[in-house]
Amino acid sequence: MEGLVNSRIIPIRASCRRHYSVFLPTFSLQLRNKNLNKGQVWMMRRPKSLDSIAASIQPLDASTTGNIDNRQPSKEVLELWRSADAVCFDVDSTVCVDEGIDELAEFCGAGKAVAEWTARAMGGSVPFEEALSARLSLFKPSLAQVQNFLNKRPPRISPGIEELVKKLKARNTDVYLISGGFRQMINPVASILGIPQENIFANQLLFGSSGEFLGFDANEPTSRSGGKATAVQQIRKVKGYKALVMIGDGATDLEARKPGGANLFICYAGVQHRESVAAKANWLVFSFTDLITALE
């Protein structure tokens, strides 16, 4: 993976919708003596016909798609996108216009230092688990701080994501959220988009009986490097999907494109343009409108 020293990260100005809703579910903030929800999916997959292109697909390496400019998708990439029976989205800087842990850290007074670690993690220059532990150790959020943050900082979702998810669901395409962020902050995003809780693969903050910060659940696959790839492989094994697409902005999202995982990686650079990641994508988009239009 390209290191930060070799990678330019270009912030993208994007409008967004901030959602305030009294209908969001109560957030499940886990205490030490509770059993952890691993988020595994064990439901039978409903039958669905697919285009023939999805029948026996291997992951597409960006170098094999025939595109010098991957902003213009090849015919093969478009066919895979249209025939996908599952789409997995990264959350931070993809579904949402910010990095959740950076926002929480800023709320708790440690924004700058944590943001620097986030840039290193997303560029692929340090192991994700190392960056996650280091970031949390800089501000150690309590249960009360997280609850206060959730009350005062509702999700800011990316333009077009609601329409895209609706269109995918109308095509009977299953939608997942796979994130290195925290369930406590992703639950309200899933509620806005109508994505069931069992379709969320993310990390879990842990708190003691007095609400003190204890750490995070290291058993979650998304808590470490390669974790998103593991989550995607697990989903695909259980559900039997023939064609699965991963959409995100970071190195950990790119990792999901491998045998048994995602067939296609679409880099969304509408918030952060991480050039080393974008260069290896099968398709680079700066707006979800491109993906919506390609489905029509």
Judge whether 174 counts as a catalytic residue: no
Residue 200, beta-bridge partner list: 177
Judge whether 90 counts as a catalytic residue: yes
122 and 273 Cβ atoms separated by less than 8 Å: no
| Residue in 92, 102, 249, 253 annotated catalytic | 92
Q: Which DSSP letter does residue 62 get?
A: G
Residue 247, beta-bridge partner list: 89, 266
Cα(178)–Cα(112) distance, integer angstroms? 25
Parallel, antiparallel or unpaired: strands 200-203 and 174-182 = parallel
| Residue in 90, 217, 249, 290 annotated catalytic | 90
**CA separation (Å) from 288 to 93, 143, 171?**
13, 34, 17
Question: For residue 115, with 0-12 CB atoms within 10 Å meaning exposed, 13-18 middle and 19 or more buried, which class applies?
Answer: middle
Phi/psi of residue 17, each to 5°?
-115, 125
Look at residue 268 and give its three-state secondary structure: strand
Six token digits for residue 2: 């390209």
Look at residue 12 and give its three-state secondary structure: coil
Six token digits for residue 107: 């709320």
For the chain, how many residues are written? 296
Cα(205)–Cα(143) distance, integer angstroms? 9
Give me the active site residues, please: 90, 92
